[in-house]
Amino acid sequence: MFLEKNEFELSALVKDTVCRLLFLNAFFVIIGYAITNWTSGVLTGNISIFKNIFLFGSFVYLIFTNRIVNPAGIFDTGFIPVIFGILIFYVSIGTDTNVKGYFRVFTFFVPLIYVYLSLSYLILKFGVRILLTGMHWGLLLIYSIPLLFYILSGGNITETNIYGPGGEEQAFASNNYGWSATIYILSYLFVWKDIHLKKYWQIFFGLLLLVAIILFFTSGNRSSWLSMGVVMIPFFFTYKKLNIRYKLAGLLIVLGFVTYLLADPNSSLNYAMNKTEKQEQVGEARFETAKVMFDKFNKDKTLWVTGVGMFNFDLLKNQGFLQGYHNSYYEILFGAGIFLFLVFLSFMVFRPLVRFIRYYSKYTLLLPPLMIIPFFESNITGGQFLFFPWFSFMFLLNAKIKFWDNETYNVSIQKYKIADTDIIINETNNPIL
C-alpha cells in the first residue's frame, strides 16, 4: 500500500504478526485519546478495557506461538527489566497503594514485559538496523493520526497559538499535538532517506510534514521545543544523511517561525515565555510537588529505600500543588525508592544515552524527545501517550551491538529474493499494517 516493491526487508518486518501487534497497541493508545476527548470521557472505561484485552491477547500470542526468546541473549540488560517490573509490584504491596493503584501497577508491569519480549523476538529475527527503520516508519504512521485529526476536525493552521485542552471539537490537547509533531518530524527525516515510498505517499507525508512543523510551533509545548533544541546538536554534527545546505535551510525555517511568532503578542511563543516568567516567580507545579516529596523523604529516610508505592499520591493531599507527579522519572523514584530508580535509569537513560552517542546518533534522532518529554509528563502506564515508543526505543538501544545486522536473516532474504521474487512482489501489494 505505502511501500515500493523493492522494500523487501521492511515489508517482511511489518508483515510479521509480532511487529503488527506491537504497532497496533501503540495505535490504539492514540485512538483511545481521540475517542476519550470527543466523548468527554464517557467511553474512557470501555476504551481502557479494550486496550487491556488487546494487550493481553498480544502477550498470549507471543506465548502460544512460541515466540518467547531468552532476552539475556539479545540485550546487554538481560533479565534486569523483567526483574525490575516484578520488584515494582512487590514494593507496592507493603504500602498504602489503593486498589486503583495496584491496577495501574499492572498496567505498567505487563506492557513493559510485553514490549521487552516482543523486541527480543524481533531483534533476533530482523536485527536492530531493520527494526530501527521499521520504528521510524511505524511512528510516522501512528503519530500522523493527531495531525490528520487536527485538519479533519477543522483546526486552523493559521493560528499562532493553539495551547490548551483543545475543546470538544478537537480530538487532542495541544500537548498531544506538540509531542506528535516532534515524533513525526524526526521520524520523517529517516523515512524520507531510508524508505522507498510510492510517489503519491511521498507527497502526502511531505504535505503532512508542513502541518507537523506548524503544530510544533503553535502548540506551545515547551518539552517538545526543548527536545528539538537538544536534537540540533546531533542533527548538525553527526546526522550525515542531509547536505549542510538543507540543514541550514531548516535552521532558517526555524528562525523564520520564531521571528513570526515573536511579532504576535498572542502567539504560543510569547504565551510560553510569559508563563515561564510567572513560574519563575511562584514556582513550577511539578518542581514544587517534587520539593514536597523530597522533604517528606528526608524526614523519613526509610522512604528513600522503600518508596511510597507506585501511584500512591497520599503524601500530596492538601499540599496545594498537583495531585500527581506529572513526571515519569519521579513516578519511579518516589514510588519505588532510590535503588530501583537507579536500576530504571540504567536501562532507560544511561545505556541508551551512551549507545546513542557512540553508535546511533547517525541513524536516529528520537532519543532526545523520548528521554526529555517523559520528564514533564507521566508515560509510565501502557495507556499513556508515549509509553510504547519510549520503552520500545530505549529497549532497542539496550540490544547487543552484534545484532545491528542479523546476518542469518539477511542471507535468507537474499535467497528468498532470488528463488521466489514473484511471491515477494505479490506480497508487497498487500496493505501494510
Tell me which residues of the chain have a pLDDT lower than 70. Answer: 93-102, 164-169, 319-321, 406-433
Domain ranges of the chain: 8-427
pLDDT digits over 245-282, tens only?
878 888 888 888 889 888 888 888 888 888 888 887 77
pTM: 0.89
* Cα–chain center distance at 333: 20
User: DSSP alpha helices (H): ranges in 238-380?
Assistant: 244-263, 268-282, 285-299, 303-306, 328-336, 338-345, 351-355, 367-376
- Residue 163 has what pLDDT? 83
Q: Vertex 379, ends 92 and 25: CA angle to 5°? A: 105
Under DSSP, the state recorded for 168 is T
Under DSSP, the state recorded for 349 is I
- Residue 249 has what pLDDT? 83
Name, in order, each residue with C-beta under 8 angstroms of 164's C-beta and a sequence gap of 6 or more: 173, 174
* Residues 305 and 49: beta-carbon distance below 8 Å: no
- Residue 115 has what pLDDT? 96
- Residue 227 has what pLDDT? 94
- Residue 98 has what pLDDT? 58
- Residue 31 has what pLDDT? 95
